[in-house]
Structure 1
Amino acid sequence: MTLKELFALYDRPAPATPVSGVSHDSRRVGPGYVFVALPGRRYDGHRFVGEALARGATAVVGARELELPVPYLRLPEEELRPALARLAAAFYGRPSARLWVAGVTGTDGKTTTTFILHHLLRQAGLAAGMAGTVGYDLGEGLAFPEGHFTTPEAPDVQELLAAMVAGGLSHAVLEASSHALAQHRLDEVAFDLAVWTHLSPEHLDFHGDMEGYFRAKAGLVERAPLAVLNTACPYAMRLAGRPHLSYGPGGDFELVRVSEEAGGLAIAFRSPEGRHEARLPMLGLYNAENALAALAAASAAGVAVERAAAALGSFAGVPGRMQIIQTEPFRVVVDFAHTPRGLAAALAALRPTTRGRLIVVIGSAGERDPGKRAPLGRTALEGADLAVFTEEDSRSEPTAAILAGIEQGARQAGGRAGKNYWLEPDRARALALAFELAGPGDTVLLAGKGHERTLERAGETIPWNEAELARRLLRLE
């Protein structure tokens, strides 16, 4: 790929200089890179043009009036993010065109659905890759990325897809977050299927309101030639005029019976191919819905439903999603639940199999939707017997202020500090406190961090592994 070829996308002349990469991050620029200076909420990429040039950038794309010693493609500011995706896709040879690609979106359930769908495709003999919140699989097993992005930036997306093509894969399953869709990170991905799990209030600080949130996610369905839609989600049904398969009550794929057992879920469901029985080794009745979405998506990829249903039984689960750390003398479970709805579902899933008290450790992220903090506190006290409120990526916000918001909801639910809830700003000490409170037959749910590998505090980001920390505190390793 040459600079001449890339700039030709915008009918701009440029020398036939070899290009070695496209990036919006000046720290990742190397010799021969094209640097795209994105404006942002906190940082303006134009401030880092000098650093990109010092690192060897061979061209710059931006919106400001600049005099530079390298070719400069100036575009309107609103076109910079789409340009980043377009240039990256061209540089990597538009890899999604050589793959069958499914995008999974929704407030809750998309990670589990992505993992299950990836598993079903592979068990059907298809060479499938995956990328999302927990990590990515290029055909050689799960790898963990840095940061907390559900969907990486456009150059990373295209690089991952290109690696899948180079590795001989034929299928890919991507989590598609609302931020990624709104910020054009997935603009140049040719989706073959869109899967919609559920929509509930989240990220409203970014999208403004539920309609803005809906419109961001609806873009995925509107781009794909076929969708899998949840009949139980009113927002999904607004898109039912497009070609789709449905799952849920009255849908093409419908649950007939779900029962929770010690080893997971026993499921009976109907599909256009008949009635089926399956076992899913996961906790939480709601995971039956995620499995149903994945079954419908696998069917859309050409997998026989009976074969996919049989493959559910060998699913190994999702790191940090209802992950059991120990069962005796009290049970400890790690889960990513970080929204009021997700937390309520996790607690409801654990209650029937908890002989004693249900204890939850939960926090709320800084610089993210403050409107969910009180509902989180209220949900914790309504769904659990005891709660420990703590940090969860406070970032630049004071942890005490975040905890005050959560505590407000706990008090609304009749909670009393030191009786049925505690405030512990340090997350490691919060886990230790919860274990001290627990007795035989109790369940401790460690919610909010799940699979994430870092904890973000003001001025620092520290390594974090909730499951490993829990095991150390419990002296299991």
Structure 2
Amino acid sequence: IGTGVGSATWPMDALPTPEAVDWAALKNVPVVLITGSNGKTTVTRLVSGMMAAAGHVAGHTSTDGVLVGGELLEAGDFSGPGGARRLLRDPRVEMAVLETARGGLLRRGLAIDHADVALVTNIAEDHLGESAVYSLADLAEAKLVVARALGGTRPLVLNADDPALVDAGHALATWFSLDPEHPILADARRQGAPTATVRDGQVMLGHGERERPITPLSRIPITIGGAARYNVSNALAAALVGSLLGLDDAAIATGLAALTNSPTGNLGRLNAFEFGGLRLFVDFAHNPHGLTALMDMAQALPATRRLVVIGQAGDRDDQAIRALARTAWMGAPDRVIVKEMPSYLRGRAAGEVTGMLLDELRSLGAQEEQLDLAVGELQAARQALAWGRDGDLLLLTVHADRDTVLRFLQRLAAQQWTAGKPLPE
């Protein structure tokens, strides 16, 4: 009964009588639900960091595990009801953030019936055709199920830069946007509603026509000084959620500054490495929307040459697989490594997915000397590093073997490896 510090749990064979329960001590702790196609885990970590900066014991669930007060209770994908149950039963938790994935929502519904704030980061073409979700509108409807936990009065944070969310709308909507002059934000200001945006390189929170600076982008590591626009958007979303929870501006700024681009900070999301003059990022980008954001960031950063590693799971349809190749090529890379992921074939024959990716790249004008094929993500990383030289920028999307690739890169960093040197076995 209750959640977090306000909870009590008993074995089924030792239930107390109602008179023996200290009902006055039972309560629900503040809970945030976070969903969306991309950015869920990053925003979950940001909001949890803000809670901790405000002096609370924060707990969160994500696709990487269940954490309380910075302690990893269990690793794995806990973005569904099982993770929520594990977290909210922990008597240390004073505030909680639940990453809420599409699959769990569609198969099992909401993990809880009361949330203090909910957020939908964005809606992107991914997993279409599964579970009767055939369009972006269908997907938006599925994600917006989180609003049912808000009781018709508590705030739902939405991205005004996302057309599917704008089209869907919601009576509880509270908006953020990268564009400070966005018409939706202008309308929200006139109505006296909370908003979040970026202005002159600063994260700004507003209420009505009044706006205040929270922190510059230069102090938010995951934005790469503003070059990673999608993480600027994630920072705005997190800041608005934090503000709606009643966290003070100092805690919000501290939380934004605390999440780093290292594997120990934001595991698998824009993890940055530098090997002499060679710059490399490891990211989970797994659909055209996420890869577009990554390629946009790469184009905003100075580089002599750019390389990207791409691959896709076999359960995506042919159109989605080819769309990933088109997205990569639109970023004007000098080289593309297409990776085979044997554990992600999901019913397709070996070479089928990589064959489609390579075929699409060739149809777009890629020359053979610009293309490479790797079996496994570690091999793809090795081929990328062997190609790279000082001044180059490498983008490695990783999914199946993330931890192996990150350990290899960390070993190279510890050995002070630099571009052009032989790679250790």
TM-score class, shorter-chain normalisation, is 0.7 to 0.9
Pick which of 115-124 and 404-413 moved more: 404-413
Contact 1:432 1:473 in 2 (8 A): no
Contact 1:116 1:291 in 2 (8 A): yes
Deviation at 1:218, TM superposition (A): 1.3
Q: Residues 310 and 397 from structure 1, CA distance in 2 versus in 1: closer, same or farther, beyond 3 angstroms?
A: same
State the partner residue of 2:387.
Answer: 437
State the partner residue of 1:255.
Answer: 198
CA-to-partner distance for each residue in 1:270-313, whole Å, 9 max, x for gaps?
42263203320122122111111001000111012354235422
Q: Residues 351 and 476 from structure 1, CA distance in 2 versus in 1: closer, same or farther, beyond 3 angstroms?
A: farther
SS at match of 1:269: strand
Q: Which has the higher contact order (CA 8 A, sep 6+)?
A: 2
Query: Which has more radius of gyration?
Result: 1
CA-to-partner distance for each residue in 1:241-293, whole Å, 9 max, x for gaps?
422321113431121133xxxxxxxx342422632033201221221111110
Q: Residues 375 and 292 from structure 1, CA distance in 2 versus in 1: closer, same or farther, beyond 3 angstroms?
A: same
State the partner residue of 1:360.
Answer: 308
Pick which of 431-440 and 278-287 moved more: 278-287
SS at match of 1:354: coil
Give matches, 1:335-346, under 5 Å.
335-346=283-294
1:222 to 139, 148, 154: 148
Q: Residues 150 and 366 from structure 1, CA distance in 2 versus in 1: closer, same or farther, beyond 3 angstroms?
A: farther
In structure 2, C-alpha distance between the alignment counterparts of 1:337 and 1:231, rounded to whole Å: 22
Contact 1:325 1:467 in 2 (8 A): no
State the partner residue of 1:400.
Answer: 351
In structure 2, C-alpha distance between the alignment counterparts of 1:376 and 1:401, rounded to whole Å: 15
SS at match of 1:202: coil
1:172 to 65, 88, 96: 96
SS at match of 2:118: strand
State the partner residue of 1:201.
Answer: 125
1:275 to 212, 232, 253: 212
Deviation at 1:17, TM superposition (A): 7.2
1:287 to 201, 207, 231: 231
In structure 2, C-alpha distance between the alignment counterparts of 1:300 and 1:373, rounded to whole Å: 39
1:119 aligned to 2:49? yes
Q: Residues 139 and 196 from structure 1, CA distance in 2 versus in 1: closer, same or farther, beyond 3 angstroms?
A: same
Equivalences, count: 363
TM-score normalised to structure 2 length: 0.78
Q: What letter corresponds to residue 157 of structure 1 in structure 2?
A: A
Q: Residues 232 and 174 from structure 1, CA distance in 2 versus in 1: closer, same or farther, beyond 3 angstroms?
A: same
1:420 aligned to 2:370? yes
Contact 1:231 1:247 in 2 (8 A): yes
Deviation at 1:110, TM superposition (A): 1.5
SS at match of 1:292: helix
2:60 to 130, 136, 148: 130
Contact 2:270 2:283 in 1 (8 A): yes
Unaligned runs of 5+ in 1: 2-15, 21-92, 259-266, 456-462
1:324 aligned to 2:272? yes
Aligned-residue identity in percent? 25
CA-to-partner distance for each residue in 1:341-369, whole Å, 9 max, x for gaps?
21121122123323211111111012244
Deviation at 1:429, TM superposition (A): 1.9
CA-to-partner distance for each residue in 1:321-360, whole Å, 9 max, x for gaps?
1111224231121111111121121122123323211111
SS at match of 2:321: helix
TM-score normalised to structure 1 length: 0.70
Deviation at 1:189, TM superposition (A): 4.5
1:446 to 396, 399, 402: 396
State the partner residue of 1:387.
Answer: 336
